[in-house]
Structure 1
Amino acid sequence: MVHCVTQQQPMAGVVVGDTQAPTAPTNLAAAGTTATATNLAWTAATDNIGVTAYDVYQGATLKATVTTTSYSVTGLTASTAYSFTVKAKDAAGNVSGASNAVSVTTTAATDTQAPTAPTNLAASGTTATATNLAWTAATDNIGVTAYDVYQGTTLKATVTTTSYSVTGLTASTAYSFTVKAKDAAGNISGASNIVNVTTLAATTTAYCASKGTDASGEVIANVDFASIYNFSTATVGYENFTSVSTDIAKGTSYSITITPQWFYGTYAEGYAVFIDYNNDGDFTDAGEKVFTKSATTASYVTGNITIPTTATTGSTRMRVAMKYNGIPTACETFSYGQVEDYTVNITASSTVRMSSSEPIATKKETSLTVYPNPASSEIAIEGVSNDSTVEIYNRNGQLVKTVDLKSNGNKISVSDLLSGIYIVKCFDTTYKTVKTTKLIKK
């Protein structure tokens, strides 16, 4: 009998009995890195039988398997750090240790795409000297950062919101406005649609008269409201400051501080503030008496005024009155005290701008502590951070002293000041506040 033995052959491409892993690839390096890609290359690994492929890792994630000693990585994110390694493997499935790690940070994105043009530009609330613009936001592949508002071909303002209140216009005059969007890379969109506006004819609203008959002994020394910060020492019963104005936004609360000045003693004064919210030429409508304070000998009075959302957009009158020993009415002639009129421009909530002289983004008028008060030689400041600048003004509104608390601490010498009443104003850059109080120098 003949016995036949059949010998089993190994499968094609598989090395029987190979348990030795390749050496690790070396000299892994990256080149030609852009915002979204980089090119990897390395020195080949060796193996007792032969290296068949390389696994490329992005961090701990297998990115690709290649048979060459280079690989182009794509799909990366701009300005982002990445780490890469490579492992070799052979036909038996043995895998080497990792190569050296190479770290790559992609470059910043090169943005050359301009935003879309803003749309639906429209004007509302046009008066003889102002109009309110609003538009639909533009879009951008990265993001819109600001809008340039043009009056004709002249750049009027740059804003980050989708609305802007234009002031300083001339009565009975035609204007055209457009808006362009821009991004962080400086790409600028085409112009929006053109909106044409003709301001109203100039009119003089005949507001009722109000005044103090005798202001020789007591006057309103300072009115502090939104961006209005007005000093006066004139001894007349009525002062017209309608050329002094501020923007106030619907639905927003503002503090008001009124400071009296007495020439022959200290008197009890009552206060009232009126705003013609519907711009109808009077202060008799509901809610137009916006602040009152009973008679007091305080060196200043303060309160808050919230602008109603139903107020008429545009410029209107604000009246501030101080009356000896009683709260004044809007149209009263009284014996002792003073009345001052101002202009306020009522805007949509997102269009309020601080005055150009305001050095801090957020204005918040609150009290702070100055002691001793009255003082003769030195005062200490409390209620603000050390990262503050203190300005001291005399009764005429003149800046007489500036002190940096960061350099000088919270103590300020006032020995060089003349006797009298001063305004102390602290600009706190840490908390983005402006705080005001009064100082009496002995």
Structure 2
Amino acid sequence: ADTAAPTASTLSASGTTTSGTNLTWNAASDNVGVTGYNVYQNGVLKTTTTATTLAVSGLSASTAYNFYVTAKDAAGNVSSASNTVNVTTSGAAVTYCNSTGSTNREYINRVQLGSINNVSGNNNGYGNYTTQSTSLSTGSTASITITPGWNGMSANEAYCVWIDFNKDGSFGSNELVFSKSKTKSASVSGSFTIPSTAASGTTRMRVSMKYNGLPTACEVFTNGEVEDYTVNITTGALVKNANGTNDDSAEAIKEEVKEVSALSFKLYPNPVKDGTLYFSGVESNASYKIFTLTGQQIANGSANNNSINVETLPSGVYILKISDSTSVGTKRFIKE
């Protein structure tokens, strides 16, 4: 019986577009003969072919994919996998509607979301900041803070934020992720969850502030300002810390807990309402770090008096990591 498997091929990709790519690999050799090749896309069998090229179509724009191939012979012997080729399709040409205000009295002064922390100042009604981006994973909760600026006395401002989750070039009612009715507050904050149906890749986020009433996504209004940003939607991916590293990302936390003994501690109240989070079962010299669900570190310090002041955190879900001299533990908590 033939028990010898074919040799592995070497795979390459070229000509990647918004919806496809071209795969090419060298012919495998076998003691009897190769009968075909299995082509895998993201770890799933896509097709079987006798050729050594394949034009892949039907891909989504601005999306990462990986491919590999295996060779097989008539006896059912299968080679080891080829090298894995990673490709990212280009973004489809999308045109967004215009929206702008007038900044004689007020303007958006600062936007904070994930790794975006933009002090923009007065942009005369519209600021294009699509070169600034942050990564958000599907199913995660993100927190946004918007700070207005006034030319004189404070005034009632209303806010809306949209993210084009399906990347179709428009902002639907189901893509409104944050709104705040008119208020004179020095800043407004809120949390939202990235839907599991959001398309992977980069897309547009629109932040709009209008005097005395909620704006619409494509409105030209008299008093207020609009700013556009880029959001990168990932599947289970984690953003980096503000310092450019991900050593303290949520994934790194999980790995660290595997390497050291798990710290068992109690956390209360959860949800926390009055701004103080208490815990027990921790050494007096312990330290803590607080992360968003997307992995961004937003607070740290010494765990003195078995309590942490979280009053300044926006409402949302967070990860608390506590470390003492011998162990590390993590728990989620909700800030209301």
TM-score, normalised with respect to structure 1: 0.41
TM superposition shift of 1:295? 0.9
Counterpart of 2:89 in structure 1 is 199
Rounded Cα–Cα distance in structure 1 between residues aligned with 2:289 and 2:231? 28
TM superposition shift of 1:306? 3.0
Rounded Cα–Cα distance in structure 2 between residues aligned with 1:239 and 1:434? 35
TM superposition shift of 1:271? 1.0
Counterpart of 2:302 in structure 1 is 405
Partner of 1:277, secondary structure, is coil
TM superposition shift of 1:241? 2.0
Counterpart of 2:153 in structure 1 is 265
Amino acid at match of 1:135: G
TM superposition shift of 1:214? 0.8
Counterpart of 1:308 in structure 2 is 195
1:335 corresponds, among 222, 227, 245, to: 222
TM superposition shift of 1:303? 3.0
Rounded Cα–Cα distance in structure 1 between residues aligned with 2:115 and 2:88? 28
Contact 1:319 1:339 in 2 (8 A): yes
Q: Structure 1 residues 299, 253: CA separation in 2 closer, same or farther (over 3 Å shift)?
A: farther
Amino acid at match of 1:353: L
- The structure with higher relative contact order (CA 8 Å, sep 6+) is 2
Counterpart of 1:388 in structure 2 is 288
Q: Name the Cα RMSD after superposition.
A: 4.8
Contact 2:116 2:134 in 1 (8 A): no
2:165 corresponds, among 265, 273, 277, to: 277
TM superposition shift of 1:330? 0.5
Higher-Rg member (1/2): 1
TM superposition shift of 1:197? 3.9
Query: How many equivalent residue pairs?
Result: 231
TM superposition shift of 1:331? 0.9
Partner of 1:211, secondary structure, is coil
Q: Deviations over 1:109-155 (max 9, x none)?
A: xxxxxxxx9xxxxxxx9859xxxx7326xxxxxxxxxxxxxxxxxxx
Partner of 2:214, secondary structure, is coil
1:244 corresponds, among 132, 145, 151, to: 132
Rounded Cα–Cα distance in structure 1 between residues aligned with 2:240 and 2:140? 17
2:143 corresponds, among 240, 256, 259, to: 256
Rounded Cα–Cα distance in structure 2 between residues aligned with 1:178 and 1:247? 27
Give ranges in structure 1 of 5+ residues lacking alignment.
1-116, 118-124, 137-166, 170-174, 180-189, 371-381, 391-401, 413-422, 438-442
2:42 corresponds, among 134, 140, 147, to: 134
Amino acid at match of 1:383: L
TM superposition shift of 1:324? 1.6
Rounded Cα–Cα distance in structure 2 between residues aligned with 1:436 and 1:265? 32
Counterpart of 1:321 in structure 2 is 208
Counterpart of 2:237 in structure 1 is 352
TM superposition shift of 1:208? 1.1
Rounded Cα–Cα distance in structure 2 between residues aligned with 1:245 and 1:195? 26
Q: Structure 1 residues 254, 220: CA separation in 2 closer, same or farther (over 3 Å shift)?
A: farther
Contact 1:222 1:260 in 2 (8 A): yes
Q: Percent identity?
A: 35
TM superposition shift of 1:272? 0.8
Contact 1:361 1:432 in 2 (8 A): no
Counterpart of 1:221 in structure 2 is 110
Q: Deviations over 1:326-357 (max 9, x none)?
A: 11110112222222212222333xx3212243
